Amino acid sequence: MPEPLLNIAGLDAHYGDFQALYGIDMTVAEGEVIAIIGANGAGKTTLMRSISGLLTNAAEQVAFKGRPIGNLRADQVAYLGIALVPEGRQLFPSLSVEENLLLGGKVARPGPWSLSKVFELFPILKERRAQPSTSLSGGQQQMVAIGRALMANPELILFDEISLGLAPVIIKSIYEALPGIVGEGMTAMIVEQDISKALAVSSRVYCLQEGRVSLEGTTGTVTRDQITAAYFGVDA
Amino acid sequence: MSAPVVTRATPASRVAMVIAVLALVVLVAAPWWAGRADMRLMGEIFLYLSLACLWNLMAGYAGLVSVGQQAFVGFGGYMLFALTMFGGLHPVAAILCAGLLAAVLSVPIAALIFRLRGAYFAIGTWVVAEVFRLSFAQVSALGGGSGSSLPVGIVKSLASSRSGREALSYWLALGAAVTVIAAVYLFLRSRRGLALTAIRDSEAAAAGLGIDIWRTKLEVYVVSSAFTAVIGGLIFLQKLRISPDAAFSVNDWTAFVIFIVVIGGIGTLEGQIIGTLIFFALRETLADFGTIYLMVLGTVAIVVMLKAPKGVWGLIRDRYDLELFPLSYRVRQDGSDKGA
Amino acid sequence: MEWINAVVQGVLLGGLYALFAAGLSLIFGVMRLVNIAHGDLIVLAAYLGLSTTMMLGVHPFVALLIVMPAMAGIGYVLQRGLLNQTLGDDILPPLLVTFGLSVIIQNALLEAYSADPLKLSGGAIETASLSVGGLAIGVLPLLTFAVAVAAIALLQWVFYATSLGRGFRAVSDNQDIAQLMGLNRAHVFGLAMALALAVTAIAGILLGVRTSFDPSVGGGRLIFGFEAVIIGGLGNLWGTLAGGVILGVAQTIGAKIDPGWQLLAGHVAFLVVLAARPNGLFPRVEH
């Protein structure tokens, strides 16, 4: 078996005295699209923060391409090739659309994504390039957030709550853009409340419950009942 | 099993109370056992302790970080001189009047500088102190920029003998320190004090509880300013000479006081006593080194702020779970005392 | 005519105050840090200029070639070594640590240079003046004002048109997300302080050529800079220049009425603005 792109082993994450994750084990192979599902407070966002370096842990608990990165800061992790599309978009209000994208390109790893390629993916952003990022609609802001992460040409891209707070038609168009993104050979982890959406685009799924992995499997083999049990913690 | 009792007192606080009363008796008797220089030093210690308690009340509890309390120290000093020289008041009456005048004056000042947030508030208080300094430097009747001395007649009105004056000045300083500590302690134990603690812990939460934050802060500012002016009057009653630069010195009346509070432990009453003692111990041993001493003091304050932000008292309290001025409630069961 | 002269002198003096304020404004904008030691750092720059001119025998303006990078280096090290540790939700640590720093710098300067007032010798430029419509305008104040305008234009350009400025704004908006973009905030803050103190170096040299200085004058310079920032409105660099000019004019007009009122008039102008327009005259427009 080839070395996984991302290997999480016994990840414990804490916010001060509060422990949010308990011994998470997870592997992600190159080219996979992984769905992370779970109820509110299950630890999904904490997992994203731990992988991206916003939350630092013991070094060996997160390994990327065989290298322990659990203790690295987010900016160091970014240069290694992991990008996060954060929950709630979180664009920089002082920066224009184009400046947000350019800042994403600061890491500038070699790869297919560039400003023009992002504008090709989301043409509306080209029209709005000079506008303040906060003047955009929620869906357009999500496009900027995705484009901003792509600009770094990451090998692993993390989407945290990709459709939260967006209109269904917007969600649909964003999900339509996903294959074009992952098609470039990028590996992705998608945190999603909408389980069917998550399963439709992913090859494997992990379910978190109260900071622990409660279910793991390939999308085709897990049953609805298994997911319900893993999600809510009731025996089906 | 008996029902749990909620209490503030602890054995340590009761012992501390007894020791404090004994110490107070010994201190009151100082004119009969202490030398002239020692009494002068102790008087100074009491006045700095008072300033530290007041600054701590503002910064440590009400979140009003001022670097301009020298405005009120100097104001109190100048009012002592002005009211005795031109108003014919007895010095003690003049000092009490200075406190009242400072309270009145602090209201419009607060209305202005409360508009500044956080650190900008701090510098705003400094501007106010500069306005005070420059204004008093314009008053030629009080000696203008070079200042003036308290006339002999007024000095003699305190007591006819020099030792009598020194004893009185000492007792006034001791009395001021006891009054300030008691006032701050009782204030913090009151409902308003609890409101303050709520503000310190979270302004949003305090507002949610229906606490008028602006008003509570204003009260603290006014009360602290009034007491600070009284202390200022006492300081210059000891010195008998005043000038704008000495009266409104940011180093003497604010920097040192802040260092005392930070080193002792901000947000605690016990810390002010410890901080004052440490400050004077450093000063008495290192004062000969002048500038080096001040650099050491600044460095110690920075290190404490970064490495032990709760100060020396915070370290002691965490280690031994002590509270000499009990402000927090403890739940006690079966006669055992344990911090909640 | 005398009054017009006072106003013109005040405007030019305002340039110097804007230079005091620019660094203060920049670091507040990027990291919400209010540096109480800012005035002492201005004075430190003046003393570094003095030592440089004495050791190398060069003009104070030439000394800037050394003092500017030196101050920038001090700023970077200070920020990463000390000030970054104070940043957070609590306003006390940065305030008290920079206050301690102020006392340390002041006394270190006393130890090194004594309390005697010193001055940088600018040579002929100090007394040179241009005659414009019956007014004698000093070349040095004019140059100071021009430098202030140029410095603020440059800062504005850095802030809004370079990738460094983009980083400053991003970190100021959201430190975590900026970190995700590969910006190490500790480094970005270090660069911001370096830039701020490079401007401070210019302010310190111009101060030292204009008037004599001693280690105790830092507090006053901090206050002037602070007043210019608040009068102009937080977060607006051109507003800061306007704030400096208003402060300068208030001072020279005050001095014209009575020499003892110079500083007082400046403070009163500040308090009046604070009373009438708490957000300053030109607050930043959120776009």
The model's pLDDT over C199-239, given as tens digits with 9 standing for 90+, comes to: 999 999 999 999 999 999 999 999 999 999 999 988 788 99
Residue A2 per-residue DSSP state: P
Q: Are strands A156-159 and A187-191 parallel, antiparallel or unpaired?
A: parallel
Of A73, A76, A106, nearest to C181 by CB-CB distance is: A106
Contact B6, B331 (CB under 8 A): yes
Amino acid letter for position B255 = A
Task: Give the number of other Cβ atoms within 10 Å of residue B40's Cβ.
Answer: 16
Chain B residue at shortest CA distance from C92 = B65
Q: Give the largest CA-CA distance in chain A.
A: 53
> Which residues of C fall below an 8 Å CB-CB distance to B?
33-34, 36, 82, 85-86, 91-97, 99-104, 106-108, 110-111, 219-220, 222-223, 226-227, 230, 260-261, 263-264, 267-268, 270-271, 274-275, 278
Q: What ipTM did this prediction achieve?
A: 0.91
What per-residue confidence (pLDDT) applies to B340? Answer: 36
φ, ψ (nearest 5 deg) of residue C129: -150, 155
- CA-based nearest distance C67→chain B, Å: 24
Contact C14, C247 (CB under 8 A): yes
Structure tokens at A224: 């609805």
Q: What is the CATH number of domain C9-119+138-276?
A: 1.10.3470
Q: Is the CB of C92 less than 8 angstroms away from the CB of B302?
A: no
Sketch the domain layout of chain A as residue ranges. 6-232
Contact B258, B70 (CB under 8 A): no
Taking the Cβ of residue A20 and every Cβ of chain C, the question of whether any pair is shorter than 8 Å is answered with: no
Q: Which residue has the higher pLDDT, A151 or C283?
A: A151
What per-residue confidence (pLDDT) applies to A154? Answer: 94
Residue B279 pLDDT class (50, 70, 90 cuts): very high
- CA-based nearest distance A151→chain C, Å: 10
Q: Which residues of A touch C172 (CB under 8 A)?
A: 94
Of B119, B255, B301, nearest to C91 by CB-CB distance is: B119
Looking at the predicted structure, is the pLDDT value of residue A22 above 60?
yes
Place of tokens 């500044």: B116
Sketch the domain layout of chain B as residue ranges. 34-248, 260-326
Residue C85 per-residue DSSP state: G
Residue B332 pLDDT class (50, 70, 90 cuts): low
What per-residue confidence (pLDDT) applies to B13? Answer: 78
Cα–Cα distance measured from residue B240 to residue A37, given in angstroms and rounded to the nearest whole number: 76
Of B228, B224, B320, B314, nearest to B263 (Cα)? B314
Residue A236 pLDDT class (50, 70, 90 cuts): very low
The model's pLDDT over B253-274, given as tens digits with 9 standing for 90+, comes to: 999 999 999 999 988 888 999 9
Q: Which residues of B79-110 are buried (b: 16+ CB within 10 A; e: fewer)?
A: bbbbbbbeeebebbebbbbbbebbbebbeebb
Residue B338 pLDDT class (50, 70, 90 cuts): very low
What per-residue confidence (pLDDT) applies to A105? Answer: 92
Global pTM? 0.90
What per-residue confidence (pLDDT) applies to A223? Answer: 84
Residue A226 pLDDT class (50, 70, 90 cuts): confident
**Cα–Cα–Cα angle for C187, C188, C192, rounded to 5 degrees:** 115
The model's pLDDT over A69-82, given as tens digits with 9 standing for 90+, comes to: 999 999 999 999 99
Average confidence (pLDDT) over A143-162: 93
Q: Which residues of A touch C183 (CB under 8 A)?
A: 75, 103, 106
What per-residue confidence (pLDDT) applies to B318? Answer: 82
The model's pLDDT over A161-211, given as tens digits with 9 standing for 90+, comes to: 888 888 888 888 888 888 888 777 789 999 988 888 888 889 999 999 999
Element (H, E) at C66: helix C60-81
**Cα–Cα–Cα angle for B63, B66, B71, rounded to 5 degrees:** 145
Interaxial angle between packed helices C218-232 and C237-257, expressed in degrees from 0 to 180 and rounded to the nearest 10:
120
Looking at the predicted structure, is the pLDDT value of residue B210 above 70?
no
Cα–Cα distance measured from residue B24 to residue B11, given in angstroms and rounded to the nearest whole number: 20
User: B-C interface: how many C-beta pairs under 8 angstroms?
Assistant: 115
Sketch the domain layout of chain C as residue ranges. 9-119+138-276
Low-confidence ranges of chain C (pLDDT < 70): 285-287
Of C33, C91, C263, nearest to B134 by CB-CB distance is: C263
Of A75, A99, A132, nearest to C182 by CB-CB distance is: A75
CATH superfamily of domain region A6-232:
P-loop containing nucleotide triphosphate hydrolases (3.40.50.300)
* 3-state SS string for C152-179: HHHHHHHHHHCHHHHHHHHHHHCHHHHH
Cα–Cα distance measured from residue B229 to residue B102, given in angstroms and rounded to the nearest whole number: 6
C-A interface (Cβ pairs under 8 Å ≥ 3): yes
Chain C residue at shortest CA distance from A131 = C287
Q: Distances in Å between the alpha carbon of B330 and those of A116, B186, B270, B335? A: 65, 18, 18, 12
Structure tokens at B14: 């009761």
The model's pLDDT over B122-181, given as tens digits with 9 standing for 90+, comes to: 889 999 999 999 999 999 999 888 899 998 888 888 888 888 888 999 999 999 999 999
